[in-house]
Amino acid sequence: MIAKFLLGLPVHRQRLRLRLAGLTVSAGPVTGALHRVQTLVEPWYQACVRASQEERQVHADETRWPVFGPEGYRGWLRVFRGHQTTVFRVATTRGGRIVRQHLLMPPEMDVREAGPDDLTDGP
């Protein structure tokens, strides 16, 4: 977990490090453990999302993010940074839907024209 999320090491590099230390580990168990941990941290992540949505000010930014799937499409990494929270979301679209969803904006509002008075004070 620390190597994956704190150090940013992909599973194949973690396996290589272990192999260099004389231990052979399959990718399946490592990936399976990460999936099990995901279910444990999901409630914490959702609490972070709710806390971010309650922030008075949130800065949103995006960058292209490689997402590998059946079609080989790319995605977009969004970051929502408030005074007390930082939330990351990966989406396969660059549209404003993710921003509107995160900031609890009505679907008809244009995210480029929204000002502080247009947003809700929380959920």
In the chain, what are the domain boundaries?
Answer: 2-48, 57-118
* Residue-level pLDDT at 76: 84
**C-alpha to C-alpha distances, 110 to 16, 87, 107, nearest whole angstrom:** 47, 21, 8
* Residue-level pLDDT at 106: 82
Name the 3-class secondary structure at 104. coil
Mean pLDDT by 10 residues, the chain (123 residues): 72 88 89 85 92 92 76 80 92 82 82 56 44
* Residue-level pLDDT at 80: 94
Beta pairing, strands 74-82 & 58-66: antiparallel
Q: Name which of 50, 76, 49, 74 is nearest 62 in CA terms.
A: 76
Total-model pTM: 0.66
